[in-house]
């Protein structure tokens, strides 16, 4: 069952990577047994939303959010692609409907592989529309800077540009998905960036750098990051979006140590 009464950051299992070998409802149950406080999804659309909602109700875990669809072959999102505005709106509508069906908190609107001023104008126009549509449903829209090594050509890679876009759109329910893994690979300086961007952040994710494995390895001191977020008053579960090197259960030593440290 979901953990309660805990101080400091809590943790969400990203089921796009964790327990990805299980059917999604069973992955939700596995996350609950492991002691996670929430789950989040990548692209759950092949699974009926009712099945997901039932597993969430059974375990008591909330679902934080999900992504809009990637689009067709070769796509990695649609929202910034000139000429595909209708497809992008359909994808966001579908994500908002699914999120509402399962009681999720947010939808990550994927920008796509593109660049240039026309793409930026297309993206801002979509985010203006998407924020309005989400507000009617009580949902938050997220945008995520993704490092160019993992997603060459992705429209949004810089957290500072994400902040400019959120500020320019000005919607109260448009926020940044701050993935520490991507941010470390595009400039680092995580403590300062988190502190300065916190008013514009809607969700935080993490994985080791450079291999995107469990957070107890690599070059980022996540004990410090978790403590910093607790000191800043962050209470939303932090998203464990890493690739387990083997069975997910064997990669959770970091979670046990975080609990033992009082996080």
DSSP state string for 160-201: HHHHHHHHHH--TTEEEEEEHHHHHTTT--HHHHHHHHGGGE
Structure token digits, residue 173? 């329910």
Helix, strand, coil percent content, the chain, rounded in steps of 5 = 40, 15, 45
CB 134 within 8 A of CB 142: no
Helix (H) or strand (E) holding 255: helix 253-260
Q: Which residues are catalytic?
A: 144, 241
CB 38 within 8 A of CB 63: yes
Kindly tell me the sign of the dihedral angle through the C-alpha atoms of 23, 28, 32, 34.
positive
């Amino acid at each position: 069952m979901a953990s309660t009464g805990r101080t400091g950051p809590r943790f969400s299992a990203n089921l796009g990577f964790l327990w990805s070998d299980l059917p999604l409802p069973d992955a939700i149950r596995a996350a609950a047994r492991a002691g996670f406080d929430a789950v989040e999804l990548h692209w759950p659309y092949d699974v009926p939303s009712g099945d997901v909602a039932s597993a969430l109700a059974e375990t008591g875990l909330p679902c934080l959010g999900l992504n809009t669809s990637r689009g067709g072959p070769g796509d990695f999102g649609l929202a910034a692609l000139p000429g595909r505005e209708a497809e992008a709106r359909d994808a966001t509508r579908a994500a908002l409907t699914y999120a509402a069906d399962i009681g999720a908190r947010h939808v990550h609107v994927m920008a796509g592989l593109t660049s240039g001023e026309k793409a930026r104008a297309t993206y801002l126009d979509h985010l203006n529309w998407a924020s309005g549509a989400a507000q009617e449903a009580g949902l938050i829209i997220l945008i995520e800077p993704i490092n160019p090594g993992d997603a060459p050509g992705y429209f949004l890679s810089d957290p500072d540009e994400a902040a400019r876009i959120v500020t320019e759109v000005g919607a109260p329910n448009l926020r940044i998905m701050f993935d520490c893994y991507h941010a470390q690979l595009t400039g680092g300086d995580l403590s300062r960036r988190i502190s300065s961007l916190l008013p514009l952040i809607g969700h935080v994710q993490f994985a080791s750098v450079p291999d995107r494995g469990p957070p107890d390895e690599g070059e980022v001191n996540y004990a410090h990051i978790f403590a910093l977020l607790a000191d800043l008053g962050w209470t939303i579960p932090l998203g464990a979006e890493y690739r387990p090197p083997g069975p997910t259960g064997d990669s959770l030593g970091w979670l046990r140590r975080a609990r033992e440290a009082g996080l």
